[in-house]
Amino acid sequence: MLVIDPGHGGLDGGASAGDGTTESVLNLQIALRMEALARLTGAECRLTRREEALDYPAELDTVHEKKVWDQKTRVALINNTPGAVLFSVHQNRYPDPRPSGCQVLYAKTPGSKELGELVHGNLVSRLCPENRRVAAPVGESIYLMKQIGCPAILVECGFLSNYEEAKKLESEGYQKLLAAVLVASYWQYEITRPLPGGEGAA
């Protein structure tokens, strides 16, 4: 089952582009396009959020408590989904406006490195062939990616700090391309990965 996590949302907008567009909005737009394509191609699919606003429990006071609750809720949804394969969708940002291009970061869980290298290779060859970055392990500071048990990747679709790339990431056409490559990569991974239990399993 494809689980899509549109990064950030609610009180957490994530990075922002020069024109004020927040990462959380773009992540959700791309995730919803992925969901539509996944359904069209017959993949079971689940999202960790479907709205920009998040429905925080009334008893939570501080922004910190609300953000912790959000992350724990997402982790619980992912870990309670049988056969989950997680794509967490994000946008990058850097102080220097020049860097551009996508990068896939993978979790420590079994299957994640293979998934990450597959998706990164497909994104680079289809969307940003001049990109010299490689798929890499995700940083220890990303709570969600440390807590999940399934194959999982974090997709940095591009740099909001790069003016040209931010315009592309905000466009319907480029979002559809991203969604198509990501969903096709999910299928490629599902079709080629070893069955649970591996060889010799009953």
Q: State the helix-helix crossing angle for 112-127 and 172-192, rounded to 10 degrees.
A: 140
Nearer to Zn ion, 80 or 141 (CB): 141
Q: Is 14 an interacting residue with respect to Zn ion (CB under 5 A)? A: yes
Binding test (CB under 5 A) with Zn ion, winner from 90, 93, 120, 168: 90
Q: How many residues line the site for Zn ion (CB under 5 A)? A: 3
Residue 172 CB-density burial (10 A; 0-12 exposed, 13-18 middle, 19+ buried): exposed
CB of 191: closest distance to Zn ion in angstroms? 29
| Rounded Cα gap, residues 149 and 111, in angstroms | 10
Stretch that binds Zn ion, among 6-14, 63-71, 97-105, 107-115 (CB under 5 A): 6-14
Cβ proximity to Zn ion: between 14 and 151 the closer is 14
What is the closest distance, in whole angstroms, from the C-beta atom of residue 80 to Zn ion in the complex?
Answer: 23
Q: How far is the CB of 113 from Zn ion (least distance, A)?
A: 21
Q: 3-class DSSP state for residue 16?
A: strand
Cα–Cα–Cα angle for 140, 146, 147, rounded to 5 degrees? 155
User: Are the C-beta atoms of 88 and 153 separated by less than 8 Å?
Assistant: yes
Shortest distance, CB of residue 14 to Zn ion, whole angstroms?
A: 4
Taking CB under 5 A as the criterion, the residue among 2, 4, 5, 7 binding Zn ion is 7
In degrees and rounded to multiples of 5, residue 182 shows phi and psi of -70, -45
Choice between 60 and 142, CB closer to Zn ion? 142
Q: Does 10 help bind Zn ion (rule: CB under 5 A)?
A: no
24: tokens are: 């959380």
Q: Which residues bind Zn ion (CB under 5 A)?
A: 7, 14, 90
